[in-house]
Amino acid sequence: MSREGKIYGVGLGPGAPDLMSVRADRLLRGASHIAYFRKAGRAGRARAIAEGIMPQTATEIAMEYPVTTEIALDDPAYNRALSEFYAAQAARLAALSAQGRDVVVLCEGDPFFYGSFMHLHARLAGAVPVEIVPGITGMSGAWTASGQPITWGDDVLTVLTATLPEDELARRLRGTDAAVVMKIGRNMAKLRRACETAGRASDAFVVQYAQMPQQSVTRLSDAPESVPYFTILLIHGQGRRP
Amino acid sequence: MSREGKIYGVGLGPGAPDLMSVRADRLLRGASHIAYFRKAGRAGRARAIAEGIMPQTATEIAMEYPVTTEIALDDPAYNRALSEFYAAQAARLAALSAQGRDVVVLCEGDPFFYGSFMHLHARLAGAVPVEIVPGITGMSGAWTASGQPITWGDDVLTVLTATLPEDELARRLRGTDAAVVMKIGRNMAKLRRACETAGRASDAFVVQYAQMPQQSVTRLSDAPESVPYFTILLIHGQGRRP
């Protein structure tokens, strides 16, 4: 019987291909099987980062989300559809492992930080060999793009998703030194109101497409109402500095 | 007149040399001048990560902290000594830039996330060409080492330093889904009490030397009282997962 293959969850970093780790780059260049998530009908952001690094001969395993924003998050049908999807993709990867194939799964940012791969990891770990390669997070890419450090001295950093209720966003933004808000997309108007309620709107910056050619950094007051899902809001800490 | 040299603040990641980015690796391999912080009389952690990658012929600029733990943080003499130190090192790098030299400054983790380089950046930016290369944070290295994702769904992540007062640590740990506590060192006993007060002690893991050969991950209950400064405590989020 051949050895089991290993499933690698590989962090690609925030967007620029040369911001992936040397280990990730080496794994991608040597990969025979490469899997990635994407929206149906799209090329996929992770796949785009890997273009030019992964071998053209690699077998590609596109994992297409069954739903993204067509069904409300709190609809049980959303949860059921995603659960079945992740179970099916995990089974697909487990079958390749059983055939002795190593599979590199492309993960934007860091695999264990709000990533889709975590839902496969939860189903595979313990049953199949899995290894994680951490990556530079999207938020690191964003604060680097902003040209200012995010935390100094004893600063408290709070990381939030803009999917939270407006009053909770405002409360959390008021009570922290530094903040990062992820998953903005269609929640921009709510997030803007929460920043204003918290008295933090004038400190906030909005970063779109961090570390990609179309990168933009603006003050919140200059940011458009319509932004992509992966847009990140930053409030920089102002802590102790000698 | 020759062109000004550029000062690069380069994130090296959490410790394993192949977890630095491809861009960082390339800059290190091509560097003629390499600067790094270290405690007096020590080899320096950043320098150790770069060993085997940076050219043996590079000119090295060791920046030795004048004080670390000999003076209390709230003593004005501490602040004054560090302020003079950072001003002197910034002047040293600016002088090299004026001579047309590019300098790579080695930064553990990510340069803009609780890093010493930020204090040089604050003094150099605007006056001298400076470029930041983000890195994988020590906390990403730690949660990867723990084998569990840090945040799911809408989880709130709070990043704290163990230098905060005990009651503030306890309040913040109680009020968050996921937590990362940095800069532990001699604050371990206080942090342990804060975790217990917050009712989070049984969820907490302690990671020492993440992504280095001597890496260890234990439950807080099994962690020793004496740990190195760069030890990280993790409480994993348990948020929404289909």
pLDDT in tens, A153-195: 999 999 999 999 999 999 999 999 999 999 999 999 999 999 9
φ/ψ of residue A228, rounded to 5: -70, 160
How many residues belong to chain A?
A: 242
Cβ–Cβ below 8 Å for A22 and B23: no
Shortest distance, CA B132 to any CA of chain A (angstroms): 7
Q: What backbone torsions phi and psi does residue A149 show, to the nearest 5 degrees? A: -60, 150
Condensed to tens digits (0 to 9), the pLDDT of residues A55-66 reads: 999 999 999 998
Chain B residues 30-89 within an 8 A CB cutoff of chain A: 78-80, 82-83, 86
**SS3 of residue A64 by DSSP:** strand
A115 inside 8 A of chain B by CB: yes
Helices A22-29 and B22-29 cross at an angle (nearest 10°) of: 110
pLDDT of res. A194: 98
User: Residue range A83-88: average pLDDT?
Assistant: 96
Split chain B (242 residues) into runs of 10 and give each run's mean pLDDT. 89 98 98 95 92 97 82 76 95 98 98 97 97 98 98 96 97 98 95 98 97 96 91 94 81
Closest CA to A7 of A115, A137, A127: A127
A-chain residues near B176 (CB < 8 A): 158
**Mean local confidence (pLDDT), A229-241:** 92
Q: How far is B220 from chain A (nearest CA, A)?
A: 21
Is B157's CB within 8 Å of A158's CB?
A: yes
Instruction: Give pLDDT tens digits for A10-25.
Output: 999 999 999 999 999 9
The reported pTM is 0.96
Q: How far is B60 from chain A (nearest CA, A)?
A: 24
Name chain B contacts of A9, Cβ cutoff 8 Å: none
**Nearest C-alpha of chain B: how many angstroms from A139?**
10
Measure CB to CB from residue B21 to each of A78, A136, A137 and give the nearest one.
Answer: A136
User: Pick from A172, A145, A155, A102: which is nearest to A232 by CA?
Assistant: A145
SS3 A170: helix
Report chain A's mean pLDDT, rounded to a whole number: 94
Q: Is B11 on the interface with A (CB under 8 A)?
A: yes
pLDDT digits (tens, 9 = 90+) for A90-146: 999 999 999 999 999 999 999 999 999 999 999 999 999 999 999 999 999 999 999
How far apart CA B66 and CA B84 sit, in angstroms, is: 9
Tell me the C-alpha distance between B111 and A145, whole Å: 12
- Which residues in chain A touch residue B111, judged by CB atoms under 8 angstroms apart? 144, 149
Nearest to B119 among A20, A118, A242 (CB): A242
C-alpha distance from B142 to closest chain A C-alpha (Å): 10
Query: Could you tell me the sign of the dihedral formed by the alpha carbons of A35, A36, A39, A44, in that order?
Result: negative
| A68 pLDDT higher than 80 | no
Contacts of A115 in chain B (CB under 8 A): 149
A19 to B23: CB separation less than 8 angstroms, yes or no: yes
Tell me the C-alpha distance between B63 and A87, whole Å.
52
Report the pLDDT value the prediction gives residue B108, as an integer from 0 to 100.
97
Reading the block at residue B97, the tokens are: 């830039």
Pairing between β-strand B232-235 and β-strand B178-182 as defined by DSSP bridges:
antiparallel
Query: In this model, does residue A2 exceed pLDDT 80?
Result: no
Give chain B's radius of gyration (CA, Å): 19
pLDDT of residue A73: 65
3-state secondary structure of B3: coil
Model confidence pLDDT, tens digit, residues A168-179: 999 999 999 999
- Rounded to an integer, the average pLDDT of A222-238 is 94
- Using a CB-CB distance cutoff of 8 angstroms, which residues of chain A are in contact with residue B82? 242
The reply to whether B134 touches chain A by the CB within 8 Å rule is yes
Enter the tokens of residue B190.
């206080």
What are the beta bridge partners of residue A13? A109
Q: A215 — contact with chain B (CB < 8 Å)?
A: no
Look at residue A25 in the predicted model and tell me its pLDDT: 98
Q: How far is A180 from chain B (nearest CA, A)?
A: 10
List the single residue in A20, A144, A154 with the smallest CB-CB distance to B132: A144
pLDDT digits (tens, 9 = 90+) for A204-226: 999 999 999 999 999 999 999 99
Cα B213 to the chain's mean position, in Å?
A: 18
With a pLDDT cut of 90, the percent of chain A lying above it is 87
CB nearest to B18's CB, from A21, A122, A154: A21
**Joined tokens for residue B170:** 């306890």
What three-state secondary structure class fits B35?
A: strand
Closest-CA residue of chain B to A239: B114
Question: Given this model, what pLDDT does residue B2 score?
Answer: 64
Residue of B nearest to A53 (CA): B22
Distance CA A113, CA A20 (A): 15
